[in-house]
DNA sequence: ATAAATACTTTGAATATTCAAAATTAGGAG
DNA sequence: CTCCTAATTTTGAATATTCAAAGTATTTAT
């Protein structure tokens, strides 16, 4: 059944597409997936292994999974269907925005590519859904959009290398001095040495500098991007 | 899971609703159901017994099944969703009529009552789908329509094929001879060539026979059912 | 570096849906 | 009334999806 796109597979693909964006490695852990899918971790592990065999997903044991090319294609199409449906339900049928997401969630599974095409034409190819979420019509549009979006330091991962992109709330001069001293102004490259979520801190090190700690709270003020 | 309306249950209900109309007893055989569902008779028997336990269906072993009140309610709603979707796809999205049925078949399963309500309002409550099939909004409308439309020869429709089910008032031997001569005894198949309600007549033709006229009055003595 | 906590994987079992093939039954032919 | 045929029902097995609980591995804290 390697080519059958079941409703279940679709749900997995869509969640992985979104969650992978929040992770510099591009991988989604089994725990995270289980939480989002509202299933047990064991179930998710089993299913992911099957989907991997069918070529939808790539899986690294004890690490997580990401979408294959084939999986990406399908996942982006689902997001396209979802957002176009939201647009239709809200602007054409004038449904309450609170119900729109849930309804689109159901309908997207049965909306064929053909109906999608006609619906898009009828709606005159809107660029955004009613909540200003862009409607991506292919992977390139999707990837391009997310390439430009950034994460903050608190989401950085151990052993990965990043570049400082921007500092939020630049008024705080104490905080600024701390950044200058540790060579962490926009443009600087650094690596994550260690991190403790329960402890609420992260330790990073810029080139030719000593390691330095930040609270995850203050890390939210530092916008970063993964270094190639 | 007695209350969960799965896609599978929906498929069974919809087919039973339609097929039951073609049978004067109101029951659908396991064989017929299996054929329409494109499943084996064994599968259908098993499922029908389960659905009976859950209160959707009434089942008589070795005879067949029909819908319970609860099943009828759900089935008519599904037909409502199906036809309204056909209307939408064809008149609003301007899809090709050949694709419309298949697409509605899929979407109807995920169209909630809420969206149905808004869609109906948007379409301004059409009375028929694009192929002149009435859109029933509740069981009464459905039953009423079928009670009047598919019982005796006078209600038969042009170009449709029927089977003679029973002759009322079998004493009239002249009438009986007329039927024998034209091969219109119970079991015979015939097609309606033409019909005039103002003229008060209907013209039908059995296989390998010449066309023959009946007054709508005498047609009331011939009980028929739609073929297939 | 070792113990404790956390995350992940495996295993065994349950439910829903399906089929093929064997067993049963009803209705018609002789 | 008995036998045959066709329809129906039963049985045993398969697939997909899921969970709980037990077993492993990794990470964090001491």
**How many Cβ pairs within 8 Å bridge chains A and B?**
48
Place of tokens 């029951």: B27
pLDDT of residue B148: 54
Check residue B130 and give its pLDDT: 86
Confidence of residue B147 (pLDDT cuts 50, 70, 90): low
**Which pair of tokens denotes residue B52?**
């009976």
Cα B64 → chain centroid: 17
* Chain B residues interacting with chain A (CB cutoff of 8 angstroms): 89, 92-95, 99, 103, 106-107, 109-112, 114-115, 118-119, 121-122
pLDDT for A228 equals 61
The mean pLDDT value for B62-81 works out to 96
**Strand C, nucleotides covered by protein (CB < 7 Å):** 6-12, 15-22, 25-26
pTM for the predicted model, two decimal places: 0.76
Q: Which nucleotides of D are covered by protein (CB under 7 A)?
A: 7-12, 15-22, 25-26, 28-29
Say whether pLDDT at A22 is over 90. Answer: no
| Cβ of residue A217 lies below 7 Å from strand D | no
A226 has a pLDDT exceeding 90 = no
Question: Strands, DSSP E only, in chain A?
Answer: 57-60, 64-67, 151-152, 161-167, 189-196, 201-206, 212-215, 222-226
> What is the model's pLDDT at position A166?
85
| Residue pointed to by tokens 């929040």 | A22
What is the tens place of the pLDDT at every residue in A32-61? 999 999 999 999 999 999 999 999 999 999
B109 CB closer than 7 A to any strand C atom:
no
Alpha carbon distance B105, B88 (integer Å):
13
A199-209 pLDDT, tens digit each:
788 899 998 88
B157-161 long-range contacts (CB < 8 A, ≥24 apart) are B157/B192, B157/B195, B158/B192, B158/B193, B158/B194, B158/B195, B159/B191, B159/B192, B160/B191, B160/B192, B160/B226, B161/B189, B161/B190, B161/B191, B161/B226, B161/B227, B161/B228
The separation, in Å, between residue A49 CA and nucleotide D3 C1' comes to 57
**Do residues B190 and B204 make contact, with C-beta atoms less than 8 angstroms apart?**
yes
Average pLDDT over chain A, rounded to whole?
Answer: 91
Mean pLDDT of B65-76: 96
Instruction: Answer yes or no: is A39 CB < 7 A from strand D.
Output: yes
pLDDT bin (cut points 50, 70, 90) of residue A196 is confident
Q: Do B107 and A115 touch (CB under 8 A)?
A: yes
Of A1-15, A18-32, A144-158, B49-63, minimum mean pLDDT range: A144-158
What is the rounded average pLDDT of the residues A17-22?
89
Per-residue pLDDT reduced to its tens digit, B84-114: 999 999 999 999 999 999 999 999 999 999 9
Q: How much of chain A exceeds pLDDT 90, in percent? A: 61
Which H or E run contains A121? helix A113-122
List CB contacts (< 8 A) between B81 and chain A: none
Q: Which window residues (156-215, chain B) lie with Cβ within 7 Å of strand C?
A: none
What DSSP state is assigned to residue A114? H
**Residue B172 in this model has a pLDDT that exceeds 70:** yes
Check whether residue A1 has its CB closer than 7 Å to nucleic acid strand C.
Answer: no
**Three-state secondary structure string covering A65-112:** EEECHHHHHHHHHHHHHHHHHHHHHHHHCCCCHHHHHHHHHHHCCCCC
Shortest-distance nucleotide from A4 CA to C1'? D16
Tokens of A161: 């290398």
Q: What is the pLDDT of residues B30-43, one digit of tens each?
A: 999 999 999 999 99
Q: What is the DSSP letter of A162?
A: E
């Amino acid at each position: 059944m390697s080519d059958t796109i079941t409703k279940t597979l679709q749900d997995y693909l869509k969640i992985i597409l979104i969650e992978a964006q929040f992770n510099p490695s591009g991988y989604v852990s089994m725990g995270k997936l289980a939480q989002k899918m509202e299933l047990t971790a064991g179930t998710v592990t089993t299913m992911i292994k099957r989907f991997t065999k069918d070529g939808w997903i790539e899986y690294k044991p004890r690490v997580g999974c990401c979408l294959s090319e084939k999986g990406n294609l399908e996942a982006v199409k689902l997001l396209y269907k979802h957002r176009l449906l939201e647009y239709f339900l809200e602007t054409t049928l004038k449904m309450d925005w609170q119900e729109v997401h849930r309804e689109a969630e159901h309908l997207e599974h049965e909306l064929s590519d053909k109906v999608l095409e006609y619906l898009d034409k009828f709606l005159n190819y809107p660029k955004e859904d009613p909540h200003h979420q862009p409607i991506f019509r292919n992977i390139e549009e999707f990837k391009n959009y997310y390439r430009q979006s950034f994460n903050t330091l608190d989401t950085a991962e151990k052993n990965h290398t990043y570049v400082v992109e921007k500092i939020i709330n630049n008024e705080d001069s104490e905080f600024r001095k701390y950044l200058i001293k540790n060579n962490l102004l926009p443009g600087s490259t650094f690596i994550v040495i260690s991190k403790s979520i329960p402890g609420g801190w992260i330790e990073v090190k810029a080139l030719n500098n000593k390691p330095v700690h930040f609270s995850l709270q203050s890390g939210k003020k530092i916008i970063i991007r993964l270094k190639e």
